[in-house]
Amino acid sequence: MASISINCFFTPQALARPTRTKKIFAKPSNVSGKTRNPRKTNLHREAELKSRGGDKPQPVSDAGGEATTYTRLPPREDFSDVSLLSSSYLNFSEEVKLSESNVAGVEENVDTLGENDEEDKEKEAKSDDDEDIWGNYRVLDVFEGNSGLIDEDDDDYEDDEVFEYGDETDVEKSGVKDGEAICFSGEEEEEEEQEDEIGVKEKGVPAVMRCFDRAKIYVKAGDGGNGVVAFRREKFVPFGGPSGGDGGRGGNVYVEVDGSMNSLLPFRKSVHFRAGRGEHGRGKMQSGAKGVDVVVKVAPGTVVRQAREVGSEAVDDGEEEKEVLLELLHPGQRALVLPGGRGGRGNASFKSGMNKVPRIAENGEEGPEMWLDLELKLVADVGIVGAPNAGKSTLLSVISAAQPTIANYPFTTLLPNLGVVSFDYDSTMVVADLPGLLEGAHRGFGLGHEFLRHTERCSALVHVVDGSAPQPELEFEAVRLELELFSPEIAEKPYVVAYNKMDLPDAYEKWPMFRETLRARGIEPFCMSAVQRDGTHEVISSVYELLKKYREANAEAKGLYDQANENLDHVAKKIDKERRAAINEFKIFRDSGTRAWHVVGAGLQRFVQMTNWRYMDSDKRFQHVLDACGVNKSLKNMGVKEGDTVIVGEMELVWHDSANGSSRPTESNKTSTDSVRWPQWK
């Protein structure tokens, strides 16, 4: 702490604010507001200098240059917004089970839900930040007796008024009870965007049919609970020492494969998944409980990618690179996607030989958040492809217990149907009946294109040809060509050709010709009448043989694949690593528009977020850390001047040069705006 008295001080200006109401609630994250977000002003940055090595020596300010003081600017937001506080009871927790009820009735709900309702719900959810307020309030209670330094003025009562958020009506309205994870339903802004993205291809398809195999969801891990400052007070135990417990860890977000799901349709209703936040620490060395995890259930065959944040200012260049995070194929597979935020340390953790009475505690770390793109690729062994109306669904209905819609017009099948074909007790295969393919399908004509990617996972294909078509050979060629154009990998898969509708005289007559044409190409076609169940067994036996060969050939590779994917927590590990960046890795920019200095670094940002400004020692620690990690020095080298705005993480401060070394806030400032209820720092 010696460096503080010599050099720089960051003194939250909130200390100089006339009432203590806002001071108590002031959160650094709210101080800078959205427009102050350093990331958003990157475009206007004039200079970019790295903290180490790349610093350009700049003339140091004349005024003093020795001692400096930072002063925090007052927050702009109104913290007495009762609507925000109303949801501070929300405890997000418990597993999210995507029940069937989510699926049912989507069609009606999607159209009728008002946008305003959704916005309101989103606001309520976002205000879970206000749990800090709740936590702080409880901390204050602990120290009610030590209030020698407290202003019991009217403002305090205002505080209390603000805290009358036991208005459970709002909570009830939101439909969220304690111990429940939160999912919002209906059409969302991001959902609209999602539809826009694929709307071009899927124009004319009913809303409920769209996106069933693609979804965009928002996941957020729970914030850590706050640590508290407390001291042991007991009869006959003088100087009991610090006893503030640590906050609990926030809940994790998992993605798990649910074997009973076969589409991503439930995500049209439920987009947001938030894990519960950790409980705050308490006196008597009691640590807070861990937040409850959220498990997002997906269908087997779901590919998870990181999505571009909805509303982000990133230039949308259409096919932006999306990293595949996970491929979840087998029921029961579970991946940790987002780890919960760390709990803040209580003052017991800060006890040291030098400081036996620490009056400092940390906020819990904010849980990471992310938008995820989910894409479902069916895990079928065999795919039935062919032109529209060829009899694909009829074939599936005959060989399995599936009951797809069958009708005498093209595009009866809009979504793939799955059926299980069993020859014996242990010889089964999953067969998918796909929507018909048209010429130009690879360019997006018709419906089949959207679903062709499902065949990427199939081991073999059955190509059904409509024998009653004017020229079955041409129809066969056209579909083959589409497959090849869409993906050479699909075209290389082993396949069986089934010439259908042999019961019709027309088809029967064309059969010899068709067979000869294909034989000339080295393909031995099968003929059948799906309606009459003639010849279907041969077709299916033949494709099963292909499948067996494929399975045998891939048995070894599959074993290796499963082993490699046993631990699916790599996403969380990566995120954790990014968040735990060293505190002395930062960059300093100067915004050309606002002329503010931005100090940007993941480690620093996390430090600022976890600093609880209500405790006096936090200021000291903050200044000490900024000094120790070289921020002050770098700023001075770059030519920061008296009165300049400096934004560190999400904290906005004003740089003050001072001629004398003791530029702490005056005593009067401290007492008039004091907000702490424990022994004053001397």
Ligand X SMILES: Nc1nc2c(ncn2[C@@H]2O[C@H](COP(=O)(O)OP(=O)(O)OP(=O)(O)O)[C@@H](O)[C@H]2O)c(=O)[nH]1
Binding site for ligand X (CB under 6 A): 386, 388-394, 406-408, 410-413, 435-436, 500-501, 503-504, 529-531
> Which uninterrupted H or E stretch holds 547?
helix 536-564
Sign of the alpha-carbon torsion through 658, 662, 665, 667: negative
> Least distance in Å: CB of 572 to ligand X?
42
Nearer to Mg ion (CB atom), residue 7 or residue 455: 455
**Three-point CA angle 565, 566, 571, nearest 5°:** 65
Nearer to ligand X (CB atom), residue 338 or residue 530: 530
Q: Which does 472 bind (CB under 5 to 8 A by kind): Mg ion, ligand X, none?
A: none
Task: Count the residues in the chain.
Answer: 682
Nearer to Mg ion (CB atom), residue 328 or residue 462: 462
Nearer to Mg ion (CB atom), residue 367 or residue 391: 391
> Least distance in Å: CB of 374 to ligand X?
26
Count the site residues for Mg ion by CB under 5 A.
3
**Environment class of residue 25 by beta-carbon count within 10 Å: exposed (0-12), middle (13-18) or buried (19+)?**
buried
Nearer to ligand X (CB atom), residue 140 or residue 530: 530
Q: Which does 49 bind (CB under 5 to 8 A by kind): ligand X, Mg ion, none?
A: none
Alpha carbon distance 304, 306 (integer Å): 7
Alpha carbon distance 365, 617 (integer Å): 19
Q: From residue 545, how far is each of 100, 381, 459, 495, 549 by CA, in Å?
A: 36, 12, 11, 11, 6
> Least distance in Å: CB of 446 to ligand X?
9
Alpha carbon distance 194, 266 (integer Å): 15
The answer to whether 69 contacts Mg ion (rule: CB under 5 A) is: no
In one-letter notation, the amino acid at residue 176 is V
Nearer to ligand X (CB atom), residue 91 or residue 394: 394
The answer to whether 500 contacts Mg ion (rule: CB under 5 A) is: no
The answer to whether 393 contacts Mg ion (rule: CB under 5 A) is: yes
Q: Return the exposure string of 253-280: e unless at least 16 CB atoms fall within 10 Å of the residue's CB, then b.
A: bbbbbbeebbbbbbbbbbbbbbbbbbbb
For residue 376, how many C-alpha atoms fall within 13 Å in the half-sphere facing its CB?
26
Nearer to Mg ion (CB atom), residue 32 or residue 413: 413
Residue spans of beta strands (DSSP E) within 322-433 = 324-328, 334-338, 369-376, 382-386, 417-422, 428-433
Q: Which does 529 bind (CB under 5 to 8 A by kind): ligand X, Mg ion, none?
A: ligand X
Alpha carbon distance 230, 346 (integer Å): 8
> Least distance in Å: CB of 383 to ligand X?
13
Q: Which does 531 bind (CB under 5 to 8 A by kind): Mg ion, ligand X, none?
A: ligand X
The answer to whether 394 contacts Mg ion (rule: CB under 5 A) is: no
Nearer to ligand X (CB atom), residue 294 or residue 531: 531
> Least distance in Å: CB of 500 to ligand X?
5
Task: Indicate which single residue of 19, 61, 306, 412 sits in contact with Mg ion (rule: CB under 5 A).
Answer: 412
Of 159, 158, 218, 176, which Cα lies nearest the Cα of 87?
176
> Least distance in Å: CB of 469 to ligand X?
11
DSSP code for 89: T
Q: Which does 501 bind (CB under 5 to 8 A by kind): ligand X, Mg ion, none?
A: ligand X
Sign of the alpha-carbon torsion through 202, 219, 183, 94: positive
Q: Which does 222 bind (CB under 5 to 8 A by kind): Mg ion, ligand X, none?
A: none
Q: Which does 388 bind (CB under 5 to 8 A by kind): ligand X, Mg ion, none?
A: ligand X
The answer to whether 414 contacts Mg ion (rule: CB under 5 A) is: no
Alpha carbon distance 511, 514 (integer Å): 5
Nearer to Mg ion (CB atom), residue 262 or residue 673: 262
> Least distance in Å: CB of 391 to ligand X?
3
> Least distance in Å: CB of 382 to ligand X?
15
Nearer to ligand X (CB atom), residue 412 or residue 669: 412
> Which uninterrupted H or E stretch holds 673?
helix 667-673
The answer to whether 413 contacts Mg ion (rule: CB under 5 A) is: yes
Residue 57 tokens, joined: 């020596």
The residue ranges that bind Mg ion (CB under 5 A) are 393, 412-413
